[in-house]
């Protein structure tokens, strides 16, 4: 008499193998966070602090390459009036400031 036995599940292959398979993905996500996301958040915070601390007399460079000195900070409009030379004054949006030049 021939008896056929059904093949059962492999022992120890349930939830533990699923966790083992997800472990490399979790490591990649952690590395991705520390190499890309966190530095961008830090840079964004530093830029926002720099823009919030602009005051009259600061020498700045805009994203377009204009160099000038902040003549007036217009808080309600979100703009700056900068003097670029010989009495020429321009109004620029605050978020177009690229850097503050140290004297």
Domain definitions of the chain by residue range: 12-53, 55-103
Q: Which CATH class is domain 55-103?
A: mainly beta
**Is the full-model pTM beyond 0.75?**
no
Half-sphere exposure at residue 80, Cβ-oriented, CA atoms within 13 angstroms: 26
Across 44-76, b (16+ Cβ under 10 Å) vs e yields eeeeeeeeeeeeeebebebeeeeebebeeeeee
pLDDT (0 to 100) of residue 5 = 64
Q: What is the pLDDT of residues 37-85, one digit of tens each?
A: 999 999 999 999 999 999 999 999 999 999 999 999 998 888 999 999 9
Query: Is the model's pLDDT at 12 over the cut of 90?
Result: no
């Amino acid at each position: 008499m021939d008896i056929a036995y059904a093949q059962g599940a492999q022992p120890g292959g349930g939830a533990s193998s699923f966790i083992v398979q997800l472990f490399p993905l979790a490591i990649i996500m952690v590395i991705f966070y520390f190499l890309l996301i966190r530095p961008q958040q830090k840079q964004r915070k530093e830029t926002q602090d720099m823009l919030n601390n602009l005051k009259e007399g600061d020498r700045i460079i805009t994203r377009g390459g204009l160099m000038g000195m902040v003549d007036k900070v217009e808080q309600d409009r979100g703009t700056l009036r900068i003097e670029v030379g010989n009495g020429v004054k321009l109004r620029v949006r605050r978020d177009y400031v690229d850097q503050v030049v140290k004297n």
